[in-house]
Amino acid sequence: MINKDSDNLVVVDGLTFSHGERLIYDNISLSIPRGKITAILGPSGIGKTTLLRLIGGQLEPDCGHIWFDGHDVPQLSRKELFELRTRMSMLFQSGALFTELDVFDNVAFPVREHTRLPESVIQTLVMMKLEQVGLRGAHHLMPSELSGGMARRVALARATVLDPELIMYDEPFTGQDPISMGVLVSLIHSVNETLGSTSVIVSHDVHEVLSIADYVYVMADKRIIAQGSPEQLRQDQSEQIVQFLKGKPDGPVPFHYPAAPLEQQLRELAGGESAGK
Amino acid sequence: MIANALQQIGRRTFDVLATMGFAVMTYMKVVFGFSRMSVFVPLLIRQMYVVGVQSLLIILVSGLFIGMVIALQGYQVLVSYGAEGSLGPMVALSLLRELGPVVTALLFAGRAGSALTAEIGLMKATEQIASLEMMAIDPLRRVIAPRFWAGLICMPMLATIFTLVAIYGGKLVGVDWLGLDTGTYWSLMQAAVEWKQDIGSMLIKSVVFANVVTWIAVFRGYHAVPTSAGISKATTETVVQASLMVLGLDFVLTALMFG
Ligand SMILES: Nc1ncnc2c1ncn2[C@@H]1O[C@H](COP(=O)(O)OP(=O)(O)O)[C@@H](O)[C@H]1O
Ligand SMILES: [Mg+2]
């Protein structure tokens, strides 16, 4: 059952997953190379967060394999899974800072849980991480006192404090002002460089993603419809890709939710009203 | 046809058993699963403060008034039989056997239970629970266990405080206002109250209620649909279900212990 692949840290193979009745993924496969930044692009509600949760073992696929460094994540026992999770971390869309802890304690939290380092070492480590995201001066603030961009930077510091091999970013740019966006892009880049870790970004912010990623998958309608380097995708002429990358309102992905023709519905409404009188 | 029906029954039974098994497993994990004492005790103390100390005011005020009202009503009835001397035993027994644990549990469900559900539901909605999971920390141990234990420890203490304050309220009305003899009030009460029967039943009831109310509160929160509508629904359900369970179980326990 070992599928050791030296180039790829994560390999998703023939994954099918549904939330209850609703099919989210129909037999998708993708691989995430070590040390690189891989991006997964797709519109809202397509299942990007779901994919990250599948990789993290929080959800179980209907069928297919998810290999993390040779371990098939869905097959692991809870104990093995928890061991594996110490090697990965996830930056949640909302930041997910613990509201009852201040910035310092939030970043120190995983360290205190998983190591027995003396407090002075923790202090140094946390301050270094906060310095990296430019928030050393904010160590005493509570999460409620932070702006959205700052919260995400604290979350980034917390996610990287134990130097994980895999960092998963869930829509890191969504809802950020242009400056925070730029800051986050360069932070994610520098984190990847300095830690030598593997990064996965799921997002629908085409521009930022194409500027930062080494390799990009584009998802639509339960499948992967395109993949390649940012350069290759920019060259791609297929309608679906062009619509998504350029942000055109109508195209293969329709603007209108499927419905009966407007004329017919209006007539029915008018008919219903006069019948009611 | 019959095979089909049997199959249905079988599946239902299996589902129910599986759910029950899951519930028992989770319960065991929450009750006995805390890992390091050095981590658990501070969390527990913090929650005991939130759940217990912050419920104290409502418990004190309600206890005082309920004791006063019972004494007033009881006096009216007893005096017509010339038995107003028995006011002490009447107040103490009705509080120890019924009102103390029951009213405390109802107040606790409204004050602390709803807050627990909302807090945990919000932690889920803001991905804090998922974030713990991804950090390889079990939220059942980290978030649920300290809150559950805090409720378990605090509620019997609150019920005791409630009962004591209410008995004092009864004395305020009976002795200080209506003019009963202090000695009679206390000595007849002491003679009537039995350790095992009365104080024991109060403690048993409040331990059972503490389990039920806190369990419902933490689990409604943990399994809340993580949206604003979902959390508000879960909070309401906590109060309604916990209150109904308390009243129903109170009848069962009373029947078992006094019936
Ligand atoms: N726990 C759940 N139960 C049922 N459906 C869900 C659940 N979580 C998410 N979904 C649905 O699955 C789809 C994919 O969700 P998600 O992965 O959050 O999408 P994305 O992150 O791409 O916006 C959404 O349409 C959502 O409504
Ligand atoms: Mg999402």
Delimit the domains of chain B by residue range. 1-32, 37-258
Which residue's CA is minimally distant from atom 24 of ligand 1? Answer: A45
pLDDT at B14: 86
pLDDT at B187: 92
User: Who's near B109: CB < 8 A, 6+ residues apart?
Assistant: B213, B216, B217, B238, B239, B242, B243, B246
CB of A241 closer than 8 Å to CB of A253: no
Share of chain A above pLDDT 90, in %: 47
Best residue for ligand 1 mutational test, from A46, A173, A200, A205 (most atoms within 8 Å of Cβ): A46
Residue A276 has pLDDT above 60, yes or no: no
Residue A33 has pLDDT above 50, yes or no: yes
Beta strand ranges found along chain B (DSSP E)? none
pTM of the complete model: 0.85
Q: Between chains, do B126 and A88 touch, taking CB under 8 Å as contact?
A: no
Q: What atom in ligand 1 is closest to the CA of residue A48?
A: 22
Q: For residue B27, give the 3-state DSSP assignment.
A: helix
pLDDT at B253: 94
Nearest residue to A88 (alpha-carbon basis) of A109, A68, A117, A114: A68
Query: Where residue A253 falls among pLDDT bands split at 50, 70, 90?
Result: low
Query: Where residue A88 falls among pLDDT bands split at 50, 70, 90?
Result: very high
Which residue's CA is minimally distant from atom 15 of ligand 1? Answer: A47
User: Who's near A179: CB < 8 A, 6+ residues apart?
Assistant: A149
Q: Between chains, do A58 and B130 touch, taking CB under 8 Å as contact?
A: yes
Chain B positions with Cβ closer than 8 Å to A: 39, 123, 126-128, 130-131, 133-138
Query: Where residue A274 falls among pLDDT bands split at 50, 70, 90?
Result: low
Kindly report the average pLDDT of chain A as a whole number: 87
* pLDDT tens-place values along chain B, 259 residues long: 778 888 888 888 888 888 788 878 888 888 887 767 888 899 999 999 999 999 999 999 999 999 999 999 999 999 999 888 899 999 999 999 999 999 999 999 999 999 999 999 999 999 999 999 999 898 988 899 999 999 999 999 999 999 999 999 999 999 999 989 999 999 999 999 888 889 999 999 999 999 999 999 999 999 999 999 999 999 999 999 999 999 999 999 999 988 7
Nearest residue to A18 (alpha-carbon basis) of A63, A58, A52: A63
pLDDT at B221: 94
Q: Is A203 near ligand 1, meaning CB less than 6 Å away?
A: no
Q: Which residues of B touch A148 (CB under 8 A)?
A: none
Q: Between chains, do B127 and A113 touch, taking CB under 8 Å as contact?
A: no
pLDDT at B124: 93
Residue A5 has pLDDT above 70, yes or no: no
Q: Between chains, do B137 and A113 touch, taking CB under 8 Å as contact?
A: yes
pLDDT at A1: 44
